[in-house]
Amino acid sequence: MAEVAYGVATSHTPSIGAAIDNDREEEPYWAPLFEGYEAGRKWMADAEPDVIILAYNDHASAFDLDLIPTFALGVADHFPIADEGYGPRPIPSVEGHSELAWHLAENLILDGFDMTICNHMPVDHGLTVPLSIMYGKPDRWPAKVIPLAVNVIQYPPPTGKRCWDLGQAIRRIVHDFDEDLKVAVFGTGGMSHQLQGERAGWVNTPFDKAFLDRLVDDPESLTRISHIELLSDAGSEGIELVMWLIMRGALGRNVREVHRHYHVPASNTAAGLMILESEEHSAFL
């Protein structure tokens, strides 16, 4: 059977991707951030997940304000790299796993989650930067990817509780898929940051570090943070952290923390990385 074995939570700041693409990782500004990514890349090379279910938010590449799905699942075999205004990133296109994606779509909808099904969707930095953080610059992405786009752009976004429940449902449904697969779930975005207004550039490090602690030991408490509290404590774009709860819900109750990295600033963002392994899986230990 397939099994959700791993979880990765990471920021997806676009300038991180630009630094990788332009070989700037060893520059003084970027070196402290990328030094913290090295352990994650080594772990990823050893873990070798077959499929990544990657929760991210689209940045007006596949959707715009005319069409705003709360949850959209990519079911294609191939996802092109989006042109975000300066040409597509010089990275491999993303290969999907349509069989598992359709299994997820069917069963999530029957389980009460109103998923939008996408047979074609370009993927932008929200999805590709996390892949670059974990894999560097490969000629081909080592894992197949199922994009899970989440609306955190237009109010109202889904609650943390709804994202947690979605992660738990993904775990159950993946385990019902009749193929031996190691699956990793990524939750992306955040951490605290605000891109506009009087608090532009604002970061809340105490909140971020407490969020990382609770993500391991008390994740359900994070599902009770309201939208208003999250906006107040983590900034207008900190709402992206609800996507981390999809990842955490998919791992089950007991996890082992593999790696943690936190750095300020990455552009004007607090960048976080956390890698977790489910202690409730056994087939691939």
Quickly list DSSP for 234-279. H-GGGGGGHHHHHHHHHT-S-EEEEEEEEEEEETTEEEEEEEEEET
Phi, psi torsion values for 281, nearest 5 degrees: -105, 155
The yes-or-no verdict on residue 285 having pLDDT over 90 is no
Q: What percent of the chain has pLDDT over 90?
A: 95
Residue 193: active-site member: yes
Q: Which CATH class is domain 3-278?
A: alpha beta
Q: What is the reported pTM?
A: 0.97
pLDDT in tens, 147-203: 999 999 999 999 999 999 999 999 999 999 999 999 999 999 999 999 989 999 999
Which amino acid makes up residue 93?
S
Query: Which pLDDT value is given to residue 281?
Result: 59
> How confident is the model over 19-76, as pLDDT tens digits?
999 999 999 999 999 999 999 999 999 999 999 999 999 999 999 999 999 999 999 9
pLDDT computed for residue 280 by the predictor: 76
Q: Is 120 a catalytic residue?
A: no
CA distance 8 to 60: 24
- 214-231: pLDDT as tens digits: 999 999 999 999 999 999
Determine the Cα angle at 41 with ends 186 and 210, to 5°.
55
| Averaged pLDDT for residues 252-270 | 96
- Of the candidates 103, 125, 261, 263, the residue annotated as catalytic is 125
Across the chain, how many H-helices and E-strands are there? 10, 10
Of 12, 97, 103, 193, which residue is the catalytic one? Answer: 193
